[in-house]
Amino acid sequence: MKKRKTAEELRSHRWFGVSDLRSFSQRSRMKQMGLDMIDFAGKPIIAILNTWSGLAHCHAHFKNRVEDVKRGVLEAGGFPVEIPVMALPENFVKPTTMLYRNLLAMEAEESLRSLPIDGAVLMGGCDKTTPALVMGAISANLPAIFMPAGPMLRGNWRGKILGSGSDIWKFWDEKRAGEISDADWSEMEAGIARSDGVCMTMGTAMTMTSLTEVLGLSLPGASSIPAPDANHRRMAAECGRRAVDLVWEDLKPSDILTSTSFDNAIVTSAALAGSTNAIIHLIAMARRANIPLELERFDALSRDIPVIADIRPSGKYLMEDFYYAGGLQALLTRISDRLDLSQKNVLGGTLGDALQDQTVYNDDVIRTVQNPVSSAEGLAVLRGNLAPGGCVMKPSAADPRLHKHCGPALVFANYNEMAAEIDREDLDVTPDHVIVLQNAGPKGGPGMPEWGMLPIPTKLVRQGVRDMVRISDSRMSGTSYGACILHVAPESFIGGPLALVRNGDLIEIDVPARSIRLVVSDEELEERKAEWTPPERIYPRGYGAMFSAHIGQADSGCDLDFLQAPGTVPEPEIH
């Protein structure tokens, strides 16, 4: 066990504890804010990175919840400092929050490094805020704990329970088919998201906060607590208290994260039928910790893990039900033989310690391995001449008949072309077609937007078709479902094979065999590649230009290359 730090060993001591001119200046500026030495001197200074904003809908409670975190820090003898960082409200940021995940990660890292900070509480939850804050904290490598936003309450419409995201897709198709009126749709808008918190389905937000808990960076049980529950306020205060102890104990992300803790996260994601977005984020987070993580690891660990969380979009319940059934810690007891229980967490104990006395209270919501929600895997990684760098699919959320399929391609060169054509009554398409969207990847989107749940053509929706094979180099919302093949790498914008697909080409997928194949000869593909013209760059300046020049592909985590570069950034000079 590490020796506890002394006050003189605090990082903030370099700013405030030295008797020289610069420390005089820095102490005087603290006093300018009405503080006295007793408030901050010799105490761990805890940065509370808060992703609240007036448009951060899922984090609306953070404006108040930060006060609970501060209370905890003060109770434990620390000094809390709230630092606003970039909010990434999933529904409002265009073209996609994924464009800015790495910018928030940079802001988090540099805020922690450049300021007199000893430890941190990371307040996030909405899709990209969790991986971004964690990536930044890993790179800064100061003691840190993640405080999840928590899921919102169940949606409700005319006695029906609604899940944000998942039911939007389902009822939108019903509206397109003429089964739902405009008045019905308007009523649904007011009932589908009715409290603070992130989507209460197993979308990207709940997947990533759950996996961050499994990685050991959150308090055990924290991710499952609904945002409006009083237990959430208590958890926030405990995060503040624990952050202070983390500093004294000098327990950092590098002391917690290992390749095996990421294996635990992958296994858990499979049991949850978690969002396919988790693949990109986990790879990026692992590589920030200098842990190599490849797509093959996801496929290998997911193959024999049944889906046991009966949560939408792969199941029927919502996160509120999951919490009452025992939550994530209870689910982990059901797959404990597939986990390494010796992995550390922010409490200084192990995953096994945290699972002691955890109980499942509802076997319908949290199933047993012998009685799963689905025997189909929650994740499959496919490879072939169409995706030499791999692509991903969620078999448990797709119509089983489409796990093996061969059909002609219907190709759209970009999202706008698809949107303009998909509702045409004379569109030449059948249920056997494979819809292909090009130029929707990291560079082509730009930012790899969540366009992957491509709409089923309206003429087919009216015929009762509710699923068909769709392929793109984009992502899709974790609340989505269907036979959607995503993250095709390399992307079409840089000349990947997806750019060479033409209308009518046969595409063959075989999920059990993990293969995806464009039924076109190598010679023909070489000829098409020689004729291919690279698109013009999208961003001439600013962050977008930097992003486009340095962004990696989906199979490498979509991080900026210079943020993945090895080496330790030195502590800032203090003058």
Q: How far is CA 54 from CA 90, 101, 105, 448, in A?
A: 13, 19, 20, 25
382 vs 164, residue with greater confidence: 382
* Cβ atoms 454, 484 nearer than 8 A: yes
The C-alpha angle 403, 406, 412, rounded to 5 degrees, equals 100
Contacts of 506 (CB under 8 A, 6+ apart): 406, 407, 408, 409, 518, 519
Distance CA 517, CA 385 (A): 6
pLDDT digits (tens, 9 = 90+) for 187-203: 998 899 999 999 999 99
> Over 80: is that where the pLDDT of 559 sits?
yes
Predicted pLDDT at 573 = 86
**What's residue 479's pLDDT?**
73
Contacts 24+ apart (CB under 8 A), 536-543: 538/443, 538/446, 539/446, 543/100, 543/103
More confident residue, 378 or 64: 64
**Percent above pLDDT 90 for the chain:** 87
In this structure, what token pair is assigned to residue 424?
A: 């045409």
pLDDT at site 175? 86
Residue 160 has pLDDT above 90, yes or no: no
Residue 558 pLDDT > 90, yes or no? yes
Average pLDDT on 280-305 reads: 95
Indicate if the pLDDT at residue 565 is higher than 90.
no
Taking Cα atoms as reference points, which of 166, 150, 169 lies closest to residue 201? 166
**pLDDT(566) > 80:** no
Report d(CA 276, CA 524) in Å as an integer.
32
Burial of 176 (0-12, 13-18, 19+ CB in 10 A): middle
CA angle, 374 then 378 then 380, to 5°: 125
The per-residue pLDDT for 166 is: 74
Residue 570: predicted pLDDT: 85
Q: What is the pLDDT at residue 90?
A: 93
Average pLDDT over residues 433-457: 96
**Tens digit of pLDDT for each residue in 214-226?**
999 999 999 999 9
- Percent of residues, the chain, with pLDDT higher than 70: 100
**Cα separation, 62 vs 66, whole angstroms:** 6
Neighbours of 109 (CB within 10 A): 23
In this prediction, residue 324 carries a pLDDT of: 98
In the prediction, which pLDDT does 65 show? 98
Q: Give the pLDDT confidence of 388-403 residue by residue, as tens digits.
A: 999 999 888 899 999 9
Place 178 in a pLDDT band, splitting at 50, 70 and 90.
confident
Say what the pLDDT of residue 75 is.
98
| pLDDT score, position 262 | 98
The crossing angle, in degrees rounded to 10, of helices 230-249 and 62-75 is: 50
Q: Residue 446: which pLDDT band, with cuts at 50, 70 and 90?
A: very high
SS3 370: coil
According to the model, what pLDDT value does residue 533 have? Answer: 95
Structure confidence at residue 213 (pLDDT) = 98
pLDDT recorded at residue 63: 97
Dist CA 74 CA 477 (whole Å) = 38
Q: For the segment 86-122, what is each residue's pLDDT rounded down to a tens digit?
A: 999 999 999 999 999 999 999 999 999 999 999 999 9
Burial of 83 (0-12, 13-18, 19+ CB in 10 A): middle
Task: Answer yes or no: is pLDDT of 353 > 70.
Answer: yes
Say what the pLDDT of residue 59 is. 98
Per-residue confidence at 375, pLDDT binned at 50, 70, 90? confident
Whether the pLDDT of residue 1 is over 70: the answer is: no
**Distances in whole angstroms, Cα of residue 426 to Cα of each of 223, 408, 471:** 48, 17, 22
Average pLDDT over residues 402-429: 97
Mean confidence (pLDDT) of the chain: 95
What structural domains does the chain harbor? 43-153+195-355 (no CATH), 160-191 (no CATH), 380-531 (3.50.30.80)
Which SS3 state, helix, strand or coil, does residue 64 take? Answer: helix
